Amino acid sequence: MHIRTTRRGFLGATGIAGIAAVAPGTASAVIEPAPWGIKLGMATYTFRNFDRAQVIEYVKEVQTPWISVKDTDKQLSHKATPAEIAAARKQFDDGGLKVMSVGNVDMTKAKTIDDLRVIFEWAKAFGTPMMVCAPTYDNIKLVEALVKQYNIRIAIHNHGPEDGHFPTPKSVLDVVRNLDPRCGLCLDAGHTARTGADVVQSIADAGPRLLDMHVKDLAFFQDRGDKKAKDSQCDVGDGIIPFPQMFQQLKKMNYQGCVDLEYEIHGDNPMPGVQRSFSYMRGVLAGLAAA
């Protein structure tokens, strides 16, 4: 089944099933935590301008339990004491949220295994099962050694043309395919598209190494210049990222990770766009499930 990516196309294609899934706050709304078996989560980088308590309230409004916690001073500081880290985790847990990962954690400045061990100890104290991260070619084997020791998975985040280490999903896969299976990819759909790579094919190529996803939408890709493409982010469903086809591929490969919205625009007032983005994704999934 083919469903147009645009919001207008989605409304025509999903009909009643889509509308029922996209109207939070109404009496008839049915919000599935994992519609069509896809865990729609939230990368809390979306709420980078807010403190932890407000972040939790925003995520609860979206009605998803799945979160990837951004390591900022406001949300989860690397400078925090073990007691403060434990208190932060309790606050997320008490809010009914499920911490699936932390990050994106910058590892590019770590030169030694001791530099990296500090990061893994911090992650261990928080009790996260996975770090979305940005290592380097030079330290990746040290990172792998700590993955084995701490049993904390890593998902290397591709950051697009500006990233001198891992710009594309392929650049990540070329490295992790020879590492412990707990080392994988966090595919960023927007950054992937900006490199000219096919997002759906990149998902397929990743297979079991796809551990996490960050999603956003863009009005256009690299053909108008990378900087303009990067600045063209819009609400999911208003751009040209092929979300229906992405979801179909994830379903086909029985993907068990999260699809985390990383909404990087309107930092001081993200919720209207976040809600529209979630409504679109839920509606597309409802339409696919009903097909």
Calpha distance 83→206 (Å, rounded)? 38
Interval 195-253: pLDDT, tens: 999 999 999 999 999 999 999 999 986 554 456 788 899 999 999 999 999 999 999 99
Higher pLDDT, 4 or 145: 145
Domains, the chain, with CATH or none: 7-290 (3.20.20.150)
Interval 139-180: pLDDT, tens: 999 999 999 999 999 999 999 999 999 999 999 999 999 999
Q: Identify the band that residue 125 occupies on the pLDDT scale cut at 50, 70 and 90.
A: very high
Average of pLDDT values for 27-41? 83
Residue 20 has pLDDT above 60, yes or no: no
Strand partners, 187: 213
Average of pLDDT values for 43-53? 98
Q: Contact, 184 vs 207, CB < 8 A?
A: no
Q: Contact, 25 vs 244, CB < 8 A?
A: no
pTM, full prediction = 0.91
Q: Contact, 285 vs 36, CB < 8 A?
A: yes
Residue 257 has pLDDT above 90, yes or no: yes
